[in-house]
Amino acid sequence: MLESLTNVLPHFRNTNSGQFFLMAGPCVIEGEDMALRIAEKVKHITDKLQIPYIFKGSYRKANRSRIDSFTGIGDETALRILQKVSQEIGVPTVTDIHESEEAAFAAEYVDVLQIPAFLCRQTDLLIAAAKTGKVVNIKKGQFLSGEAMQFAVDKVRQSGNPHVILTDRGNSFGYSDLVVDFRNLPAMRSFDVPVVMDVTHSLQRPNQASGVTGGQPALIETIAKAAIAVGADGLFIETHPTPATAKSDGANMLALDQLEALLTKLTRIRQALQDEGSIAPIST
């Protein structure tokens, strides 16, 4: 198991290479072979482009539209796969938790605990995550402004954990759409935390009549480019070898074979910004 990211978080804060970092992987852990294959492929790409990489995979999906939606292969089974990814591929891992009692359990296996957007105001959940000492990645609620996330950050910090990341995933627009307000990224960065753009979830089309969330994956490159241009410290991208067969969120995923070309374009944008001095590091 890799040591907690709390000892290496400055590496993910644009203070050294100036590069953005990447959280990427499948929406949910579907099995060991697939998780290792995705992690190995993404690690190969990010090593080549010198992008710090955190493998993402949910060990269980709690927020489903329908009772027959896929939720996971078993909590401990999936968490052990995340642990194996960390050990064999040599990357940190992140997974989401949904209730306070899950925090300590999941923290035994992963490096970063993620708070889902709909749960970002849940005080007990934030405190429980903070108490593990792990890095806490809080997704901004679809119903909140970037400025309102100050209070979520405060809950973690005032619980004795200074290691916080904030992630934007768009704002609700009507009943069945999301829009991205890029003002939220500098607003959240003003709290002296790394900020991430969740590119793929921000392109969801939720609350479809079928009970299966839709998406607009053709716009992944557009949102990612804009986020880097605005100064995001990191990107969150769900990817899968065959999104059409993914057991969760396939409608808004990036096909794995398209990831390298996208990241190559994004590193060029980041380099251009760095060359003109537009990337200001946050303190560590």
Give the three-state DSSP class for 84. Answer: helix
CB 107 within 8 A of CB 95: no
pTM of this prediction exceeds 0.85: yes
Residue 68: its pLDDT value, please?
61
Residue 60: its pLDDT value, please?
87
pLDDT tens by residue, 156-187 = 999 999 999 999 999 999 888 899 999 999 99
**For residue 110, which amino acid is it?**
V
Q: Is the pLDDT of residue 119 over 70?
A: yes
Q: What are phi and psi for residue 208, nearest 5 degrees?
A: -75, 155
**What is d(CA 160, CA 106) in angstroms, rounded to the nearest whole number?**
19
Q: How far apart are the first and last CA of the chain?
A: 24
Q: Who's near 92: CB < 8 A, 6+ residues apart?
A: 2, 5, 54, 55, 86, 110, 111, 112
Domains of the chain, start order:
5-275 (3.20.20.70)
Q: Who's near 163: CB < 8 A, 6+ residues apart?
A: 5, 6, 9, 134, 135, 136
Q: What is the mean pLDDT of residues 29-40?
A: 96
Residue 174: its pLDDT value, please?
86
Q: What is the mean pLDDT of residues 76-82?
A: 96
**What is d(CA 278, CA 100) in angstroms, rounded to the nearest whole number?**
39
CB 91 within 8 A of CB 84: no
Residue 282: its pLDDT value, please?
54
Residue 138: its pLDDT value, please?
98
**What is d(CA 255, CA 217) in angstroms, rounded to the nearest whole number?**
9
